[in-house]
């Protein structure tokens, strides 16, 4: 059984709510949850399923809509090695990379790390382009000059043109990234880890949400810099 839902409460309801999936499961079955949710919730679900003899893998994905369409997403998996071995080939039918990163919950810890890096990266890129624009330098030329150096990244390559075009048609919506960063903050507080940069990125996105941009692609972080700096990055 594979599930992919927005957040922890949705997965819990689908599994354990009235007429939930767990009611129809028998010992020896497995639930593969590909949702991006709180890691501690994944561990709780695994424990509850273990009581009825059902295995559990948390297997969130990365790559956004383009890679989902062409079947090249990355899947990060948490769970027992023997259970992972049973379903690795199945997961590979929809992904370019499938990696076991640890016990249950490790998949979603890895996804949160991914989302932290992506959010901070987009914000850094947008901030740098804003500096260039205000200084009278074309951000598109800055991108071409630095993309092959240490500052270059997949995020920069995938999101820069959207920023330059002002095209924030969603591949991954701001509201979903807010959800992920809320899970980052909740998890970091539960395990006593300081995470200041994701909290700043989240506040930027919360401001955009307040201005009606929550459905925009997360590259729309650039819109916040345009608002506060009274400028446009296009043209």
Pairing of strands 2-3, 95-102: unpaired
Half-sphere exposure of 23 (CA within 13 A, CB side): 8
Cα–Cα distance between 93 and 160 in angstroms, integer? 30
Any catalytic annotation for residue 92? no
Cα–Cα distance between 170 and 177 in angstroms, integer? 12
Catalytic residue among 67, 111, 133, 159: 111
The single-letter DSSP state of residue 78 is E
Give the torsion sign (CA, 114, 119, 124, 125): positive
- The encoded tokens of residue 164 equal 């330059």
Alpha helices in the chain (DSSP H): 8-16, 39-50, 64-70, 81-92, 106-134, 139-146, 154-165, 174-190, 196-210, 221-229
Residues acting as catalytic residues? 111
């Amino acid at each position: 059984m594979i599930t992919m839902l927005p957040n922890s409460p949705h997965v819990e309801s689908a599994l354990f709510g009235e007429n939930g999936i767990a009611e129809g499961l028998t010992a020896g079955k497995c639930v593969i949850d590909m949702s991006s949710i709180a890691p501690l919730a994944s561990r709780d679900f695994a424990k509850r399923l273990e009581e009825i003899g059902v295995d559990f893998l948390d297997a969130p994905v990365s790559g956004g809509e383009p890679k989902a369409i062409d079947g090249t997403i990355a899947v990060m998996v948490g769970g027992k090695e023997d259970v992972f071995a049973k379903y690795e080939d199945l997961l590979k039918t929809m992904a370019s990379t499938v990696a076991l990163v640890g016990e249950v919950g490790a998949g979603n810890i890895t996804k949160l790390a991914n989302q932290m890096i992506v959010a901070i990266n987009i914000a850094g890129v947008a901030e740098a382009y804003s500096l260039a624009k205000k200084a009278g330098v074309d951000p598109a030329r800055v991108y071409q000059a630095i993309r092959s150096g240490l500052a270059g990244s997949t995020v920069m390559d995938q999101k820069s043109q959207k920023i330059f075009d002002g095209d924030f048609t969603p591949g991954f919506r701001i509201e979903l990234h807010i959800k992920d960063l809320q899970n980052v903050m909740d998890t970091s507080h539960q395990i006593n880890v300081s995470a200041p940069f994701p909290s700043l990125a989240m506040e930027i996105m919360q401001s955009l949400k307040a201005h009606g941009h929550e459905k925009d692609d997360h590259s729309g972080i650039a819109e916040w810099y345009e608002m506060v700096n009274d400028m446009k990055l296009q043209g």
